Amino acid sequence: MDSIQIPLPIYFVTSVLTVIFLIWLPRKALPPGPIGWPIIGNMLMMDQLTHRGLAKLAEKYGGILYLKMGFSHTVAVSSPEMARQILQVQDHIFANRPTTIAITYLTYNRMDMAFSDYSPFWRQMRKLSVMKLFSRRRAESWDSVRDEVDSMVKSTAVNSGTPVNLGELVFGLTHDIIYRAAFGSTSHDDKEEFIKILQDYTKLFSAFNLADFIPWLSFIDPTGLNSQLSAARDALDCFIDKIINEHLSKEKKTGVETEERDMVDEMLVFYSNKGKVNEAEDLQNDIKLTLDNIKAMIMDVMFGGTETVASAIEWALTELMHTPEALKRVQQELTDVVGLDRRVEESDFEKLTYFKCVVKETLRLHPPIPVSLHKSSEDTKVAGYHIPKGSRVMVNAYAINRDKNSWEDPNTFDPSRFLKTGAPDFRGSNYEFLPFGSGRRSCPGMQLGLYAMEMALAHLLHCFTWELPDGMKPSEIDMTDVFGLTAPKAIRLVAIPTPRLLCALY
């Protein structure tokens, strides 16, 4: 019998349709999203995985969307209701963190809190941070905020009448605050070395590595990432080993009990296990820290506490200079509440209603961590869609904080929206406003971060009037941001200070 000859064009079209059908078939129950290619999936869209790129995709696909990145499932969440599903309703399933080869290596195999999965180990690290490291009772951290803000005001006053790079000023400030809170030292040389290590870590954390998405291609390392990773970790080892040894010998000589304790001292108690047994919360009995834990935790504190706070202060000043009526109003409030014959103090804050709204509005428009990363620990369903175990879930706080169904004129800087009764708060139960996240993995450094932000901002606004250089108009200020671990201003804010208080600033 003659075999049936299928014409070539029909054969070709049928094959293509079959492939498309096979790609589409298993996605049926997944959230909507752009169709990907075999094997690489949506990896050609990698550059769109930023807060802005994902917000754009959400306009087309909705509050929950799915992307296949090589072999990894990625889900982006961009609406308040979907965020509530992830961070509240199914918080227990989405409390893990996705990781990469670089993060695993640089955190000593996830020996920290921020990148470890939700586990008994994470709970211990969280307890340690909340009760010891970032606790309001650790007065030394709050003291270091006040002292460093003081020296920032002095150095700004010295430069009055000349252009000040406010971005550099506030990034320097937060490095000083956190460096001192962590290590107790203010040595400038050491700090410069440490900032260089932090910058290398930041670059490596966000470096693209094909092996994260297609593991069997791990032998391909065109940029020499692996050797950069080991050089960066060696540098950190060398730096922190020295600091830890200094702390151990200081403790032997003098006993830290009598001295100001920094975060390394707090953690070394658990390393050497010399602390008082049976403290009220019984931390001592169940936490034992290795040196790797201590190093990894220090990096959490550094990453969590420096760029976040600095970019929030710079954005607040930028938005105020961009909106002169708001700047005038907040400075008038400072004059009315505090007066011009003394500096602002912590006890003034509760009366600075509009100032607090400026802080909230800045964190709404420019959440310092625009996209937070979670991972599902089991197969589950969200909004009826299947979310496979191990999915990387990107919660886009930037898009959520600008959700047009929740906010009027969402892209406009308008602090007075927070004066309205019932306006959302950032403590985590209003899912349209998530600068600090919500649920189990929400920010443990919120109190310290807000304190540093408010202190620095209030002083800069109360002590000085600010003018743009070279006759620049407010509307000409560059408002673009760059995407990394945080989303700071792309171009630093520069302005000219003039003292506005009747009392001396230095």
**Where along the sequence are the contacts to ligand HEM (CB under 6 A)?**
113-114, 126, 134, 300-301, 304-305, 308-309, 312, 368-369, 372, 435-437, 441-445, 448-449, 453
For residue 385, the surrounding DSSP H or E stretch is strand 385-387
**Residue 244 Cβ, how far from ligand HEM at the closest point, in Å?**
19
Residue 41 or 391 having the CB closest to ligand HEM: 391
Residue 167 or 435 having the CB closest to ligand HEM: 435
Residue 40 or 485 having the CB closest to ligand HEM: 485
Could you tell me the two tokens for 428? 């985590």
**Residue 451 Cβ, how far from ligand HEM at the closest point, in Å?**
9
String of b and e for 59-73 (b: at least 16 CB within 10 Å)? Answer: eebebbbbbbbbebb
Could you tell me the two tokens for 273? 């296990």
Residue 33 or 370 having the CB closest to ligand HEM: 370
Contact assessment for residue 186 and residue 151, using Cβ atoms and an 8 Å cutoff: no
Q: 96 — phi, psi (to 5°)?
A: -80, 165
- Side chain identity at 199, as an amino acid letter? Q
Residue 75 or 211 having the CB closest to ligand HEM: 75
**Residue 180 Cβ, how far from ligand HEM at the closest point, in Å?**
12
Residue 82 or 443 having the CB closest to ligand HEM: 443
**Residue 450 Cβ, how far from ligand HEM at the closest point, in Å?**
6
238 is in an annotated binding site: no
Q: Within a 13 Å sphere around the CA of 478, how many CA atoms are in the beta-carbon half?
A: 11
Q: What whole-number distance in Å separates Cα of residue 303 and Cα of residue 11?
A: 56
Tally of helices (H runs) and strands (E runs) in the chain: 17, 9
Q: What whole-number distance in Å separates Cα of residue 410 and Cα of residue 161?
A: 36
Q: Within a 13 Å sphere around the CA of 281, how many CA atoms are in the beta-carbon half?
A: 8
Residue 268 or 299 having the CB closest to ligand HEM: 299
Residue 108 or 134 having the CB closest to ligand HEM: 134
**Residue 441 Cβ, how far from ligand HEM at the closest point, in Å?**
4
Local structure of residue 205 (DSSP, 8 states): H
**Residue 247 Cβ, how far from ligand HEM at the closest point, in Å?**
19
Nearest residue to 272 via CA among 259, 258, 255, 297? 255
Could you tell me the two tokens for 203? 């670059």
Q: What whole-number distance in Å separates Cα of residue 55 and Cα of residue 65?
A: 11
Question: Beta 371-375 vs 494-499: how paired, if at all?
Answer: unpaired
Residue 36 or 431 having the CB closest to ligand HEM: 431
Could you tell me the two tokens for 90? 């199914």
CB atoms within 10 A of CB 19: 11
Which residue is at the shortest CB distance from ligand HEM? 445
Residue 232 or 453 having the CB closest to ligand HEM: 453
Residue 112 or 414 having the CB closest to ligand HEM: 112
Q: What whole-number distance in Å separates Cα of residue 167 and Cα of residue 481?
A: 13
DSSP 113-157: STTS-SSHHHHHHHHHIIIIIS-TT-HHHHHHHHHHHHHHHHHHH
DSSP 42-73: TGGGGGG-SHHHHHHHHHHH-SEEEEEETTEE
**Residue 373 Cβ, how far from ligand HEM at the closest point, in Å?**
7
**Residue 381 Cβ, how far from ligand HEM at the closest point, in Å?**
21
Residue position matching structure tokens 């959520």: 400
Question: Beta 72-77 vs 380-382: how paired, if at all?
Answer: unpaired
Residue position matching structure tokens 């290596």: 105
CA distance to 19, 341, 460, 498, 505, per residue, from 502 (Å): 76, 5, 15, 12, 9
What's the longest Cα–Cα distance across the chain? 106
Helix axes 166-183, 188-205, angle to 10 degrees: 100
Bind-site residues: 443
Bind-site residues for heme: 443
